Chain A
Amino acid sequence: MSLTIGIAGTAKNTGKTTTTSAILGELYNRNISIGLTSIGYDGEEIDNITGLPKPRLYVKENTILAIAKKCLKGGSAEYEVLETTNITTPLGNINIVRVVKEGLAVVAGPNKGSQLKYVKDKMINELGCKIILVDGALNRIAPMVETDGIIIATGAARNTNIDVLVEETKALYELLNLPKVQEDKLHHFLHLEKIALFPKNTDEGIKSLRYGSLIDNSTVNEILTDINNVQIIFIPYLISELALKQLNDNLRGLWLDKTLIIKDPIKLITGGDSQNLLNEIKRIKENGGNVETLKNLPLLAITVNPFYPKYRFDKNSYEPGYINRDELLEKMQNVMHIPVIDIKQEGAATLVNTLLIKLK
Chain B
Amino acid sequence: MKKKVLLAPLDPVHDIGLKMIKRGLEQNGHDTLLMPPDYSQEEIIKAIVDNDVDVVLISRTLGYGVAEILGKFIDLAEAAGIRDKVKIGIGGMAIRPELAAELGFDAGFGPGTTVEEAVAFVEGREYVPSESGIKQNKKDITQGYDYSFRNKRIEKLLDTIVDGILDYTSNKTSTAILRAELRRQILDSTDESEKQKLRQEYARYCDDVVKSFYEAGKYREKTRPLTKDEVKALRGYVDDVNFRMNPIKLQHTDKNPAVFIQYGTGCPFMDIAHIKSCEAWGADGVVHFDPSWGARTEGFLEGYITHEEDGSIITYENLKSIKESLAPYTLWQVRAHRGLNTPETVLLAGKIGADLTKINIAYGSLSGGTDPARLTVDAVAAIKYAAEFGMPFDVVTNEELSGVPAFKAFAGMLIVSKLGLRLGGKPILQPLFCYSPEVMINGQMVDNYVDFNAAKIYCLRNIVNAPIWCGAPIGFLTQTEDRVQSSMMTALHASLASSLGVDAISIASSDEAFSKGPITAASRIDTLRATQASFRFFGHADITPTENAKKWAAEMEEGIEKVLEAVAKKGNFVDALYQGLLGSREDGAYPGRAGRNTVISKS
Interface residues of A (CB under 8 A from B): 39-43, 46, 48-53, 68, 70, 73-74, 88-91, 108, 111-114, 137, 139-143, 193, 211-213, 215-216, 236-238, 240, 242-243, 266-267, 270-271
Contact = CB atoms under 8 A, between A and B. Distances in A.
Contact of B104 (A49, A88, A140): A140
A89 B99 CA distance: 11
B244 A237 contact: no
Contacts of B241: 49-50
A293 to B, nearest CB: 13
Contact of A215 (B80, B277, B521): B80
Contacts of A243: 42
Interface string B50-83: 0000000000000000011001101110111101
B229 to A, nearest CB: 14
Nearest to B124: A88
A86 to B, nearest CB: 12
B79 A270 contact: yes
A238 B80 contact: yes
Nearest to A39: B104
23 contacts: A41-B102, A48-B521, A49-B241, A49-B277, A50-B280, A51-B98, A52-B98, A73-B240, A89-B101, A90-B106, A91-B98, A91-B101, A108-B102, A111-B74, A112-B83, A142-B74, A143-B78, A213-B49, A213-B81, A216-B42, A216-B43, A238-B45, A271-B79
A89 to B, nearest CB: 5
B573 to A, nearest CB: 47
B277 A48 contact: yes
A73 B239 CA distance: 10
B97 A91 contact: yes
B522 interface: yes
B23 interface: no
Contacts of B74: 111, 140, 142
7 nearest A-B pairs in the assembled complex, by CB-CB distance: A139-B71, A142-B78, A111-B104, A90-B97, A40-B102, A238-B79, A142-B75
Contacts of A90: 97-98, 100-101, 105-108
Contact of B75 (A42, A140, A215): A140
Given A142-B78, A213-B80, A237-B79, A270 B72 contact: yes
Contacts of A89: 101, 106
Contact of A237 (B81, B102, B245): B81
B71 A137 contact: yes
Interface string B240-267: 1101110000000000000000000000
B384 interface: no
A89 B521 CA distance: 29
B43 A113 contact: no
B46 A266 contact: no
Contacts of B72: 139, 270
Contact of B243 (A73, A88, A111, A142): A73
Contacts of A43: 98-99, 102
Contacts of B409: none
Nearest to B95: A90
B101 A48 contact: no
B183 interface: no
Given A73-B243, A139-B68, A215-B46, A114 B98 contact: no
Nearest to B65: A139
Residue among B46, B68, B98 with the highest chain A CB neighbour number at 10 A: B98
A111 B49 contact: no
B101 A112 contact: no
A41 B99 CA distance: 9
B71 A40 contact: yes
Contacts of B456: none
Given A52-B244, A112-B83, A240-B42, 8 more contacts: A108-B101, A111-B74, A113-B78, A140-B104, A142-B76, A238-B45, A242-B42, A270-B79
Given A215-B45, A240-B42, A50 B244 contact: yes
Judged by DSSP, the binding face of A is: loop
Contacts of A211: 46, 49
A112 B108 CA distance: 16
Contacts of B83: 112-114, 142
Contacts of B71: 40, 137, 139-140
B276 interface: yes
A52 B81 CA distance: 30
A243 B243 CA distance: 49
A211 B83 CA distance: 15
B75 A141 contact: yes
A73 to B, nearest CB: 5
Contacts of A212: 49, 80-81
Nearest to B236: A76
Nearest to B72: A139
Nearest to B525: A48
The listed residue with most A CB atoms (<10 A of its CB), out of B76, B108, B276, is B76
Most chain A CB inside 10 Å of its own CB: which residue of B83, B104, B107: B104
B365 to A, nearest CB: 40
Nearest to A75: B240
B103 interface: yes
A43 B103 CA distance: 10
B84 interface: yes
B3 interface: no
Given A49-B280, A111-B74, A216 B46 contact: yes
A215 to B, nearest CB: 5
Contacts of A140: 71, 74-75, 102-104
Interface centre among A52, A211, A270 (most CB of B within 10 A): A270
A41 B78 contact: no
A266 B79 CA distance: 7
B244 A49 contact: yes
Nearest to B46: A215
B4 interface: no
B296 interface: no
B40 to A, nearest CB: 9
A91 B107 CA distance: 9
A212 B74 CA distance: 17
Interface in B485-530: 521-522, 525
Contacts of B280: 49-50
B351 to A, nearest CB: 30
B75 A111 contact: no
B139 interface: no
Contact of B101 (A40, A113, A236, A267): A40
B96 interface: yes
Nearest to B521: A48
Nearest to B104: A111
A108 B280 CA distance: 23
Contacts of A271: 76, 79
A70 to B, nearest CB: 7
A143 B43 CA distance: 22
A70 B81 contact: no
Contacts of A215: 42, 45-46, 80
Which of A89, A139, A240 has most B Cβ within 10 Å?
Answer: A139
A353 B45 CA distance: 41
Nearest to A267: B79
Contacts of A52: 98, 244
B97 to A, nearest CB: 4
Contacts of B67: 139
Contacts of B96: 51
